Each structure stands twice: as C-alpha cells, then as structure tokens.
Structure 1
Amino acid sequence: MKFYIASSLQNKEQVQLLSTRLIEIGHTHTYDWTRNNRASTIEELSRIGELERKAVREADYLIILLPAGKGSHIEMGIAVGLDKPVYILSPNEDVYDVSLTSTFYHLPQVQIIIGRLEELLVTLKR
C-alpha cells in the first residue's frame, strides 16, 4: 500500500515517525515533504506543489495529521476527488464540533481517529 501524509510543519517529527512506522510494516511513502526547506520563491512553491499533487494521486490512501494547514486540506480535496480513503488523526474531539469542523471530514471515505499515532497505526494495520 502506498500512502501520503499531509500535515503542517509543526507536526514534522510526527510525520517522520509515522512514515517510518508505516514503511516498517511494508507500506510505501509516495513523497516525504518533510525533507524540503521552506520555499522562498514562487518557482519552489510550484515545484513542490507538483510533487505533492503527484504523490497524492499515486497514493492508495491519504493521512492528515491535525492540526494541518491549507495545503493539507487541498491535498485532502485531491484525494477525495479521486475517491481515495482518507484517515484524519485528531488529537481532540474538535472534529465533531459543528462550529470547528469541515464538511469534508465527514464524507463516507473519511475515517476520523481521535488520539495518538498508535491508534492510527492500529486502524491502518487492519
């Protein structure tokens, strides 16, 4: 199985840890954006955007580690548009608060996991 992880830079270490754990169980990471430096030009943003779009398209499933930024939500939109499974790992129940959540978090192909990486890994090993 091939995966892509979307999140914010503040979750960089968690993304790297999750990637390592998934690779250990035989999954393939389509693109590791955590190896990039912060883009400083429009050209760099464009190049990275193309790599990330391609990686989402190649993935069998997408993971979003919350909190996540606008880029992660665009990547989720690509995955949803391609009818790929999406797993959202949230550290809290805010995803169920109507005033805070996104309509797209509650689509049929989206599974929400509340907790830590371990809970997500248990779900993905099924």
Structure 2
Amino acid sequence: MLNWRCSKKGIKMAMKVYLIGSLRNPEVPKLANQIRELGFEVFDDWYAAGPEADDKWRDYEKGRGHSFKEALKGYAAKHVFQFDRKHLDECDIAVLQMPAGKSGHLELGVHLGKGKRGYILVDDPERWDVMYLFATGVFDDFNELKAELKKLKKEAK
C-alpha cells in the first residue's frame, strides 16, 4: 500500500511523481501540470535545461578533446546525474512520457528495480516492445493514466 510522504517535521505531503521524458518534447510541461492538478508533487525541473542540453554538453566536451567516457567523469556530467538521481530516488511514482530516449528508459528501469511503481504513457508507438511489460502499467492516453493516479491517491489515504 502506498503512503503519503512525511516531511522532516511530520507534515503529510503529496506523493511525488518523477516525470521522465525527452528534453525535446514540448508536451512534458503540459503533462506535468496535468498531474499536478491531481494533487501530486511532480519533478520535471530537468526539462529547464532546454532541448539542446545534451548536444551542448557533448560539443563542449569534444571541444576540450574529451571522449564520451572521459566526459562522463567530468563535473558537469556528475552534477546533472546526481541532480536527477536524487529526485528519482525520492519519488514514489515514475511516469515515462514517450517519445523518450535511452536515458529515460534507464531511469524508469532503475525506478522499477527498486520495487516502485512506474508507468509508460505512449500513443501508438512506432516500434512495439514487449519489455514494456516491466512497467506497472502502459497507457495510450492521459485519461487512463489519470484514472490510475487517482486510484493510487485514494489507496494512500
């Protein structure tokens, strides 16, 4: 059974949803707001880096003569990773909004591997994948996801 989160002061707080998606997907903030309207805390601040964040990091590191492996050891990579990881670790629920890339799928996998609930919102995928069965649920429209989130909220009371 899900529980409401408690702050350090013992104050009951809303369950936290980590919204996973693509930096290039303009629908991410819209979905985040829809989930907030249901009374959940939503972490989507990673989106603020902008659609070219990964490309700019790559170009910067290549300009310094670094390989991908070397770049992963740099301060920028470690900082961004720790920022996202902290919030992923804190969340109760994860929602992967498609389309998303490798990073998003890794984040969902880590979350699910901790025994937490993780959902995928995908509308008529270009490629079908049976491994989506690892997810707690797969939905093809927001109303289905909304019904599931409302159910979880009710169970947590």
Q: Which band: TM-score by shorter chain? A: 0.7 to 0.9
Contact 1:2 1:28 in 2 (8 A): yes
2:114 is aligned to 82
| Unmatched runs of 5 consecutive residues or more in structure 2 | 1-14, 62-70, 152-157
Contact 2:18 2:94 in 1 (8 A): yes
Which among 38, 44, 50 is matched to residue 76 of structure 2? 44
| Unmatched runs of 5 consecutive residues or more in structure 1 | none
Scaled by the length of structure 2, the TM-score of the pair is 0.66
Scaled by the length of structure 1, the TM-score of the pair is 0.80
Which among 22, 25, 29 is matched to residue 8 of structure 1? 22
Report deviation, 1:102: 4.8
**Which protein shows a greater Rg?**
2
Report deviation, 1:93: 5.5
Contact 2:121 2:140 in 1 (8 A): yes
Q: Equivalent pairs: percent with the same residue?
A: 28
Distance in 2 between the 1:77 and 1:113 partners?
17
What amino acid does structure 1 have at the position aligned with 2:145? L
Contact 2:96 2:121 in 1 (8 A): yes
Contact 2:21 2:104 in 1 (8 A): yes
Contact 1:31 1:51 in 2 (8 A): no
What amino acid does structure 2 have at the position aligned with 1:21? Q
Contact 2:19 2:95 in 1 (8 A): yes
